[in-house]
Chains A and B, each alone.
Chain A
Amino acid sequence: EDKVVQSPLSLVVHEGDTVTLNCSYEVTNFRSLLWYKQEKKAPTFLFMLTSSGIEKKSGRLSSILDKKELFSILNITATQTGDSAIYLCAPSGYGGATNKLIFGTGTLLAVQP
């Protein structure tokens, strides 16, 4: 059975701190791993990772994938209150007619001023 485990479940930090969010997975016919940020409503796309060891970076956020050990991390440096959100990890596996994202339960990040 496909499985995604994110840790920690929740995290409280102060502005300026650096955080690392973890995602381990077991997915049949793995294709890629996506990270999303969810504030109040719809998740918004952050990164898609398909290759091991290649860091993707966007501003203060970066992410990397290890396909051998089946995990990914999302780093946020110099956190701001606007980074407060649920961060969702979603590996994609091919099953049936298309790829399907399997979502973890997310990490709830709260950044205090």
Chain B
Amino acid sequence: SQTIHQWPATLVQPVGSPLSLECTVEGTSNPNLYWYRQAAGRGLQLLFYSVGIGQISSEVPQNLSASRPQDRQFILSSKKLLLSDSGFYLCAWSFGGSGANVLTFGAGSRLTVL
């Protein structure tokens, strides 16, 4: 069976510091990978998705970037955090391809920027 791991679970960082959140998936190959952010308003906003190694699509302009150095690894980064980057970040995976796929989420990373 497939599992998704995301870390760290919580993070408190000062403004201007770098960020790295990591997500890995086990038990499948060539998954689609996604980063979502959930702010206080509860909606999930899609930040990035990837359909393969090195292939990153950005949904909204922002202070963040994503990378996929390996098939089942997805990393969310920032060089300099802003206060507005605070939120709950969720990594998700689905089976590859363009069929109607269910997203399975990791446990999330709560980021507080002070």
Which residues on A sit within 8 Å (CB–CB) of B60? none
CB distance A101 to B46 under 8 Å?
yes
Total interface residues on A, CB under 8 Å, equals 27
Is A99 a contact of B90 with CB atoms below 8 Å? Answer: no
Contact: A103 with B108, CB < 8 Å? no
How extensive is the interface on chain B, given as a class? 20 to 34
Extra A-B contacts (15), CB below 8 Å, given A31-B100, A98-B96:
A41-B108, A45-B103, A48-B100, A50-B100, A90-B44, A97-B51, A97-B55, A97-B57, A98-B49, A98-B97, A99-B98, A100-B59, A103-B45, A105-B42, A106-B43
Q: Is the CB of B100 within 8 A of A105?
A: no
A94–B102 CA distance with the chains assembled, in angstroms: 13
A32 touches B100 (CB 8 A): yes
**Cβ < 8 Å to A, chain B residues 80-103:** 90, 94, 96-103
- How far apart are the CA atoms of A99 and B94 in the complex, in Å? 10
Chain B residues within 8 Å of A105, by CB: 41-43
Q: How far is the CA of A3 from the CA of B55 in the complex (A)?
A: 26
Is the beta-carbon distance between B43 and A41 smaller than 8 angstroms?
Answer: no
Chain A hits for B102, CB < 8 A: 34, 45, 48
B45: chain A residues at CB < 8 Å are: 103
By a CB distance below 8 angstroms, the chain A residues around B105 are 42-44
Which chain A residue shows the least CB distance to B88? A41
The residue among B32, B34, B102 with the most chain A CB atoms within 10 A of its own CB is B102
CA distance A34 to B57 in the complex (A): 22
Say if the beta carbon of A88 comes within 8 Å of chain B: yes
